[in-house]
Structure 1
Amino acid sequence: MVAVVSFFMISGYVMALLIEKHYGSVGRVGHFYLDRAARLFPQFWWYCLLGGLVLWWTGHRDVFSSGCTGGKVALNALAIPLNFFQFGNLESCMLIPPAWSLGLEITFYLVAPFFLLSPKTRWISLPASLLVFGAAYVGAIDSDMFGYRLLPGVLFIFLTGAAFSGRDRLSKIIPVTVWALAALSAVFFPPNDTTSPMIKEVLLGVVFAVPALAITRRLPHSKIDDMLGNLSYGIFLNHFLIIWALRHFGYEVGWAYFLILFFFPQPHSRRFLFT
């Protein structure tokens, strides 16, 4: 969970830099969407296909693959519906189970230009999202959905990351304020795991991600960063199908899993910049 929250914050930071550099006007928004689609969907569709073939070949059935139909497979290919799997029983057919967070990521991309190109909209939306998260925190609304999986409750995490790209005083205050709120809440008002599951993990993620991003964004860029960046998306998409295949042959997760994970062929879809 900490890793997922950290990813959301890093994504907000990177998208703010990307939009500022290449898509700094409303007229460029369409190019931003094309850029994101070219970056995400080729590998995603490739691993959806491989995941379906592995499930068919191995006959593997679990909570994520026991109810597949043609319609559900088509929804998988759109990615965004995976973020709303609770509403259509889609959890019984997820060719890439962790891709629900990819659906959330794409949902953020759809609105990101309008939040990030308008500072006023950005800073109004952040406290609004905190209010939604607060309602999930106290158990007034479903904490799994609105405190972890759906955009209204986690938008503040993306926007906190985006604040790191700013140079004004408010941009510097926001990460510190969000970190302090998360840390103080975790220490003095710990969430109830029964009435508000997932919230504690999200708080820990924020507490970790803010200082981690503050430090790492200042480190010099290297070729190792490029290599790991090229590998990361494919590993995110393929690790479940590798687990399924290994278990079919009687192997449990171990060193063989990690070796195959890193050396499994990773198709590289270039991030096209329409400048």
Structure 2
Amino acid sequence: MFGILRTLLAINVVLLHIFNVPTLGNYSVSFFFLLSGFLMTLIMHETYGYSFKGFNFFWLNRILRLYPTYLIILVVTIIAIIIFPQLIRHPDLFMPKGGIEWIANITMIYPNVVPHRIEPRLVPPSWALTNELFFYCLISFGISKTFKRTFIWLTLSVLYFIGTYYFYNIATYRYSAIFASSLPFAMGASLYWITKTRTLINVRLFTILLVYILFVLNALFGHRYGFFLKELAIYFNMLIAFVLVYLLYTFKINQRIKKIDSYLGYYSYPIYLSHYLIAIFYSGIIGYGLIEGSFKLKMTAIIPYSLVLLLFCFFIVHLIDKNIDAYKRKLKKQELKK
């Protein structure tokens, strides 16, 4: 039941970037990394395997999952910059000037240990995909192939975070830097081994909702305290995410709910990637609830903005994502016949 969760996390990022709701979106990005660590380790072990063929099939599926939607949003953004330059009110949104900038924007691989420092980024949230791709690569090469490797990875990740407090105490290096993603990814990978060695428990939906509410409350209020409690809230968030992923993995749902969950999950990625683009169009064309001098919106605009965002994502899901998924299923059947 990860589809609804992913879409909720994407919505949390929208609330941060467009409506200035603090911290919840930041915590949700770390949550995404932890979930990815779990799911990528799971599918490498139980779907693809660590053979050369499995490695290739894993990356073919990752490319099909990430790039078609991204490239469509990239092209629409470029068209917007050319035709409606007056609507562009984001500091990272301007046309790349050289080959390296174009390659970075097309591949989502930004050449910096802190990817969000790279400008321009035609799709601003895509910096997190640099982090994702880096750890997808490590997982596909076997960093979480065994429990021992995963434990060493987790230990090194913890040491990295401890080191940032002593040697370079800047929050960026515990959030958006590539190596900052190592801890949630490693925690997610570790969770895979817990599910393999422990008996899965029966979980009620009410319990899952309570844990998610705890995650939201921790995100919304944890940053208001002093430095020590604020930092503690970050790691408490990761533990809540860890527990919630475990609960969702063990939660049993019927086929009807599974289909709904899967369908809603389609919206997470286009929502995450396109929310800045839609905010820019919304602010220039509709403008209701606009905070003057920016593309950001007041909470009074949440309904009309959300309708525009969901309409755009609806077309992305039905014209791109569903067709790509059908193609991936066809490829899988062909592989099974070999």
TM-score, normalising length from structure 1?
A: 0.80
- The equivalences for 1:128-207 within 5 A come to 128-136=156-164, 138-141=165-168, 143-166=170-193, 167-168=196-197, 191=227, 199=231, 202-207=234-239
Which whole-Å CA distance do the structure 1 matches of 2:179 and 2:118 have between them?
21
- The equivalences for 1:243-258 within 5 A come to 243-249=279-285, 250-251=287-288, 252=290, 253=297, 254=301, 255-258=303-306
Q: CA deviation at 1:248?
A: 1.2
Q: CA deviation at 1:55?
A: 2.3
Deviations 1:192-216 (A, max 9, x none): 69xxxx9566324314312222222
Shift of the 25–235 alpha-carbon distance from structure 1 to 2, 3 Å rule, reads same
Shift of the 73–145 alpha-carbon distance from structure 1 to 2, 3 Å rule, reads same
Which whole-Å CA distance do the structure 2 matches of 1:143 and 1:209 have between them?
23
Q: CA deviation at 1:119?
A: 2.7
User: Quick check: 2:42–2:192 contact (8 Å CA) kept in 1?
Assistant: yes
Task: State the secondary structure of the residue aligned to 2:192.
Answer: coil
Shift of the 141–77 alpha-carbon distance from structure 1 to 2, 3 Å rule, reads same
Instruction: Tell me, yes or no, if structure 1 residue 62 matches structure 2 residue 90.
Output: yes
The share of aligned pairs that are identical, in percent, is 24
Which whole-Å CA distance do the structure 2 matches of 1:74 and 1:246 have between them?
28
Q: CA deviation at 1:61?
A: 4.1
Instruction: Tell me, yes or no, if structure 1 residue 122 matches structure 2 residue 150.
Output: yes
Q: Which residue, 211, 217, 235 being the options, matches 2:249?
A: 217
Q: CA deviation at 1:83?
A: 6.3
Greater mean alpha carbon deviation, residues 22-31 or residues 3-12: 22-31
Q: CA deviation at 1:16?
A: 1.5
Which whole-Å CA distance do the structure 2 matches of 1:225 and 1:82 have between them?
35
Letter paired with 2:261: D
Shift of the 202–50 alpha-carbon distance from structure 1 to 2, 3 Å rule, reads farther
- The equivalences for 1:30-49 within 5 A come to 30-49=56-75
Structure 2: runs of 5+ lacking an equivalent: 1-25, 199-217, 291-296
- Per the alignment, residue 270 of structure 2 pairs with 234
Q: CA deviation at 1:20?
A: 1.2
Q: CA deviation at 1:103?
A: 1.3
Greater mean alpha carbon deviation, residues 22-31 or residues 243-252: 22-31
- Per the alignment, residue 307 of structure 2 pairs with 259
Task: State the secondary structure of the residue aligned to 2:90.
Answer: coil
Q: Which residue, 51, 72, 82 being the options, matches 1:26?
A: 51
Structure 1: runs of 5+ lacking an equivalent: 170-182
Q: CA deviation at 1:53?
A: 1.4
Q: CA RMSD in A?
A: 2.8
Task: State the secondary structure of the residue aligned to 1:115.
Answer: coil
Instruction: Tell me, yes or no, if structure 1 residue 11 matches structure 2 residue 11.
Output: no
User: Quick check: 2:73–2:274 contact (8 Å CA) kept in 1?
Assistant: yes
Letter paired with 1:2: Y
Which whole-Å CA distance do the structure 2 matches of 1:116 and 1:199 have between them?
27
Shift of the 210–83 alpha-carbon distance from structure 1 to 2, 3 Å rule, reads farther
Which whole-Å CA distance do the structure 2 matches of 1:3 and 1:83 have between them?
22
Letter paired with 1:97: P
- Per the alignment, residue 52 of structure 1 pairs with 78
Which whole-Å CA distance do the structure 2 matches of 1:68 and 1:111 have between them?
29
Letter paired with 2:184: I
Letter paired with 1:260: V
